[in-house]
Structure 1
Amino acid sequence: MNYSKAQLLETANKASKNTLMETLEIEMIDYGEDFLVAKMPVTPRVHQPDGVLHGGATAALAESVGSFASHIFLDADKLMIRGLEITANHLKSVSSGFIYAKATFIHKGRTTQLLDIRVTDEQDNLISVCKLSTISLPKKK
C-alpha cells in the first residue's frame, strides 16, 4: 500500500465503522515497517461479571490488529485475508484504562502467516500473549 502513516491509520479506522471493532472502540494507532499497534478502552462494556477485562474482548482486539497487519503488509488489493486460529494466554487482569495490542509477524508466507500479538496495559505490563494465524487467498474477480 502506498499510504502515509496517517492515511493508513485513518483508512484502517474508517474500515472499522459498523463492525465489532467499532463496538469495542478498537483503534489502530501506530505502525512501522514490521508492526501494527491498536488500543481498546477497558470499561464495563468489556468486563466479565466480576469486573475485569473479558478474555474474549482481549482476543477480539488481538485478532483485529493481527488481521489488519496482514492486510497492511500483504497485497490486500489482490488477496482476501482471513483468520484461521487464535490463541490467547491471559497473564494479568485489568479493570480500567486502555490496553494496547502490538502485532508482529513470526512468519509471512504467501499463503499462511503467523503473528505474535502482545497485549499490554498503560504501564506496559504484559496482559496477554496471543498468536494468530491467517490465510491469504486470491480475491474472486
Structure 2
Amino acid sequence: MTIIPDDLDPELMERLVNSGGGPLAQKMGFEFLELSAERSVATMPVEGNTQVVGLLHGGAHVVLGETLGSVSAAIHAGPGRIAVGIEINATHSRSITSGFVTGTCTALSLGRTLATHEIVMRDEQGRRLSTVRMTNFLRDA
C-alpha cells in the first residue's frame, strides 16, 4: 500500500500513477511505498539491474535516488510548478548481488526555488548501500 498525502496535486498524482514513475522506473521494477515532499520511499529488485559481474549497478542506485528526489521535489513545488534536477552525487558504501533495495528520501532543505534531498539505499537487513544527495530547482511550469 502506498502512502500519499491528501493534498498532492491531482495532475501530478495522475502522472505518477499512470506512468508508474516513468518508463525507466517501470523497467527497473520500482515500487513506490510512500510519497511526500518530506519523505518518499520505494523499493527496487537487484535482479535485472546488475552490472556484468553480478553486482547491483551503481547507476541503478542513482536512478532510484534521482527518481525519489525528483518526485519529492515536485510534490513540494506544488501545482503549476516543476522540479528540475541541477545537482546529484552518490557515495556507494556496500555492494549487493540479490534481493531488494529500499530507497528512503528525506528532505534536507525545502525552499521556494530549491529543494535538496538525501536518499539512502539499504538492503533487506537495513545495511546502508549508498547515499545520494540531489538538489532540484523549482520553477513555474
Shorter chain as denominator, the TM-score bin is 0.7 to 0.9
Q: 1:104 to 1:24 in 2, by over 3 A?
A: same
Greater than 3 Å deviation, 4+ residue runs: 1-4, 8-11
Q: TM-score, normalised by structure 1?
A: 0.85
Matched, 1:103 2:105: yes
Q: 1:13 to 1:96 in 2, by over 3 A?
A: farther
Q: 1:18 to 1:128 in 2, by over 3 A?
A: closer
Query: How many equivalent pairs are there?
Result: 134
5+ residue gaps, structure 1: none
User: Which SS does the other structure have where 1:48 is aligned?
Assistant: coil
1:93 aligned residue:
95
5+ residue gaps, structure 2: none
Q: 1:110 to 1:63 in 2, by over 3 A?
A: same
Contact 1:112/1:135, CA 8 A, preserved across alignment: yes
Q: 1:60 to 1:138 in 2, by over 3 A?
A: same
User: Which SS does the other structure have where 2:96 is aligned?
Assistant: coil
Q: TM-score, normalised by structure 2?
A: 0.85
CA distance in 2, matches of 1:135, 1:17: 19
Which AA in structure 2 matches 1:107? S
